[in-house]
């Protein structure tokens, strides 16, 4: 009888431990189970070189979202279309400027949003009109070496 009670307690302890480990994995991994509370905006860039889905989106150095996906613009095959998931509590003016930046000298790429002064805010599925593409360091160095700068 005591052995069965001991085995039940050990089993319950193991189940609680596994649930706690799963919870910590999700929280530390910054994963969302239910999709999170975001709205999506898109932005067209001439180049998103080095930018990957999951990259952060910042305003004034504060993370306000992440890059959901990147694809070629179906209307113009010479531009990239980036879809950004923005936290729902963040209000972004419709005159915001989105630029692809690098954290550090050779760090990860991210999107920096520079707010304007508009009183009108972007809603779900709106498009950011003003963008600045990524600076391609390799292309600049190549031009410098070959004397085309």
Quick check: 90 and 146 in contact, CB under 8 A?
A: no
Kindly report the backbone phi and psi dihedral angles of residue 49, in degrees, each rounded to the nearest multiple of 5, phi listed first.
Answer: -50, 120
Burial of 45 (0-12, 13-18, 19+ CB in 10 A): buried
In three-state secondary structure terms, 107 is coil
Quick check: 42 and 81 in contact, CB under 8 A?
A: yes
Which of 131, 132, 135 lies closest to 41, judged by CA?
A: 131
Residue 149: per-residue pLDDT: 59
- pTM metric for this prediction: 0.71
- Residues 94, 120: Cα–Cα separation, whole Å: 6
- Residues 106, 146: Cα–Cα separation, whole Å: 23
Which of 135, 61, 140, 123 lies closest to 86, judged by CA?
A: 123
Kindly report the backbone phi and psi dihedral angles of residue 117, in degrees, each rounded to the nearest multiple of 5, phi listed first.
Answer: -115, 15
- Residues 120, 117: Cα–Cα separation, whole Å: 9
CA geometry: angle 35, 77, 116, nearest 5 deg? 60
Could you list the pLDDT tens digit for every one of the 149 residues in the chain? 688 898 999 999 999 999 999 888 877 776 665 566 889 999 999 888 888 998 999 999 899 999 999 999 888 778 889 999 999 888 898 899 999 998 877 778 899 999 888 888 888 888 898 898 877 777 778 888 887 65
Q: 59: which 2 tokens? A: 């305003």
């Amino acid at each position: 009888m005591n052995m069965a009670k001991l085995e039940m307690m050990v089993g319950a302890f193991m189940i609680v431990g596994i649930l706690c480990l799963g919870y910590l994995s999700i929280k530390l991994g910054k994963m969302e189970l239910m999709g999170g509370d975001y709205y999506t905006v898109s932005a067209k860039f001439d180049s998103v070189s080095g930018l990957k889905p999951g990259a952060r989106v910042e305003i004034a150095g504060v993370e306000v979202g992440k890059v959901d996906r990147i694809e070629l613009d179906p209307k113009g095959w010479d531009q990239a279309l980036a879809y950004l998931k923005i936290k729902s509590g963040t209000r972004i003016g419709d005159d915001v400027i989105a630029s692809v930046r690098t954290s550090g000298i050779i760090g990860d790429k991210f999107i920096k949003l520079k707010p304007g002064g508009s009183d009108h805010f972007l809603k779900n599925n709106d498009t950011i009109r003003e963008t600045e593409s990524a600076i391609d360091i390799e292309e600049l160095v190549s031009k410098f070496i070959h004397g085309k700068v």
